[in-house]
Amino acid sequence: MFRRSNAVVGFINFVTFLISIPILGAGIFLATKANTGECLRFLQWPLIIISIAIMIVSLAGFIGACYRKTWLLRAYLFFMFFILVALLVFIIFAFAVTDKGSGHPVLGREYEEYSLDDYSGWLKDRVGGREYWSKISDCLRGAKVCKDMRRIVKIPPSSTAPATFVPESADSFYTRKLSPIQSGCCKPPTSCGFLYMNETFWNPAGSTSVAALGGDIDCTRWSNDQQLLCYNCDSCKAGVLASVKKSWRKAAVISIAVLVISIIVYIIAIAAFRNNLRMNNGEPQGINRMTKSHPHRFNF
């Protein structure tokens, strides 16, 4: 194992180095495109920092293993330990802050709706804070998440009228599976009882009081202004939390796989490090230090 450990560590770290290149590219892309939405700044620097750290550590492990640079392997083992600890902390943190909250089914609807009261803790305070929420809402407007959900239906021409294009019907809209952000930010809650006109335009039918609108304060926050919609609604914040929860859970699951693989690589790297120390000390490889006083004719 000692003879092969260096080659295994070198190969794995070379692959890891190659994988970190597109991750770094994604972080740089977000940094250069930050003007499309302030919320992207929450993602760009972790991506850049993590990718650079992976590149440097992987390069150190590759060179140290392939060229028997003991000091590089020592640095690799040192920093890799903190990466493993950071991964473990992130996994625990990700599951801890996303343990609450989920969508609620609505009678006669395929999509779910979301309530801010279902969430609590650090993530809710972070997303729901006034200063940070203004950045998130700017991001949602810039991404045009509500505009992209519109559908146009073509009505075939007749003998008296040409072909026309109209919004999809209410029955068709109610059978759609909307994302949490689309459900929470692009339409009013179903409890408001608004009349569907199109995906982002709803008729309040003369009801303006909270009591008349099912007791939901979001009903008074809804606006048919396409720049406002329900971006200031608690349901929109809950939709963003649901989306973040889903993304973080996926990231946590991937991190578990990365952590397991990294631990295996770390163990092999320790073997490679010990192998380098033996070679630097002039000790023969694959032979124990202790020898028998009367060895057998055939040694294994």
Domain ranges (residues) in the chain: 1-100+244-279, 104-240
**Which three-class secondary structure state does DSSP give residue 170?**
helix
Region 205-234: what's the mean pLDDT? 78
Say what the pTM is.
0.73
Amino acid identity at 12? I
Most confident of 44-58, 96-110, 245-259: 96-110
pLDDT of residue 298 exceeding 60: no
Q: How many other C-beta atoms can be found within 10 angstroms of the C-beta atom of residue 76?
A: 28
Tell me which H or E stretch contains 57. Answer: helix 41-66
**Which three-class secondary structure state does DSSP give residue 107?**
coil
Q: Which residues of 181-201 are buried (b: 16+ CB within 10 A; e: fewer)?
A: bbbbbbbbbbebbbebebbbe
Give the Cα separation of 59 and 56 in Å (integer). 5
Give the Cα separation of 184 and 174 in Å (integer). 14
SS3 content of the chain, % helix, strand, coil (to 5): 60, 5, 35
Would you call 5 exposed, middle or buried from its count of C-beta atoms within 10 A (0-12, 13-18, 19+)? buried
pLDDT of residue 40 exceeding 50: no
Q: Comparing 6 with 204, which gets the higher pLDDT?
A: 204
For the chain, the average pLDDT equals 75
Give the Cα separation of 228 and 153 in Å (integer). 25
Give the Cα separation of 263 and 86 in Å (integer). 13
Give the Cα separation of 176 and 102 in Å (integer). 18
